[in-house]
Amino acid sequence: MYICDDLETPHSNTSISINAETFDTLFQEYWKRMYVFALKTMEDEDEAKEIVQDVFKSLWERRETLNIKDVERYLLRSVKLKSLEHIRNKCTRQRHHEVIQTQSQVMYEDQQLQVKELASKLNTIVEGLPRQCKNVFKMSREQGLTNKEIAQILLISERAVEYHISKALLVLRTNLAEQD
């Protein structure tokens, strides 16, 4: 069977030269067989189409340096190798994804544990503050009240609120630095 005027039969020992017309003829002649072949291996239509496209893209890009004697065999073998490469890469990506996911989960759990420990330390230190200092600090940090709002509720000056917050922060920094 002749593919094109300038091509020999697919099973001859003569090499073919690939120009745009020959490429188009090859595509029309073989794409469906290549697709079916890739689909049997990949079991996914999109992946099979991508593999056939990659093989034809590679054929076009390397058209000047290729020395093909049996076009059908070359194309089907290329699809087979590209399919196997795709499966291997997919498995590798999946393993990497699983490793990353496992490491992320471990890191997340470690961070959660660290957050709980830190929160416990902070709570212990805050509970050890003098009553008024503790109340001001909790109103500021836990309830999100402004210094003015705290001053009005506790009937103290804004300057006193600032003093208690500064004192609480100093005690927290000092105690946390000592524990590290």
The answer, yes or no, to whether residue 170 has pLDDT greater than 90, is yes
d(CA 121, CA 49): 58
**DSSP letter (8 states) at residue 172:** H
Shared domain check, 80 and 136: no
Shared domain check, 97 and 141: no
Shared domain check, 46 and 24: yes
Shared domain check, 108 and 23: yes
CA nearest neighbour of 68 among 28, 22, 24: 22
The torsion angle over the Cα atoms of residues 119, 120, 126 and 127, rounded to 10 degrees, is 150
Task: Report yes or no on 121 lying in a domain.
Answer: no
Shared domain check, 136 and 56: no
* Counted domains in the chain: 2
Of 67, 95, 116, which residue constitutes the final position of a domain? 116
d(CA 29, CA 31): 6
pTM over 0.85: no
Which of residues 76 and 67 earns the better pLDDT score? 76
**Residue 16: how many other CB atoms lie within 10 Å:** 22
Shared domain check, 140 and 70: no
Query: 82: domain range?
Result: 1-116
Which of residues 103 and 32 earns the better pLDDT score? 32
Q: pLDDT confidence of 14, banded at 50, 70, 90?
A: low
Q: Is 12 helix (H, G, I), strand (E, B) or coil?
A: coil
Task: Report yes or no on 83 lying in a domain.
Answer: yes
Q: What DSSP assignment string belongs to 50-79? A: HHHHHHHHHHHHTTTT---S-HHHHHHHHH
d(CA 147, CA 134): 14
> Rounded mean pLDDT of 13-42?
84
Task: Report yes or no on 69 lying in a domain.
Answer: yes
Task: Report yes or no on 12 lying in a domain.
Answer: yes
Query: How confident is the model over 114-143, as pLDDT tens digits?
Result: 888 888 999 999 999 999 999 999 999 999
Shared domain check, 29 and 7: yes
Shared domain check, 139 and 110: no
The answer, yes or no, to whether residue 6 has pLDDT greater than 80, is no
Report the CATH number that the domain containing residue 36 is assigned in CATH. Answer: 1.10.1740.10
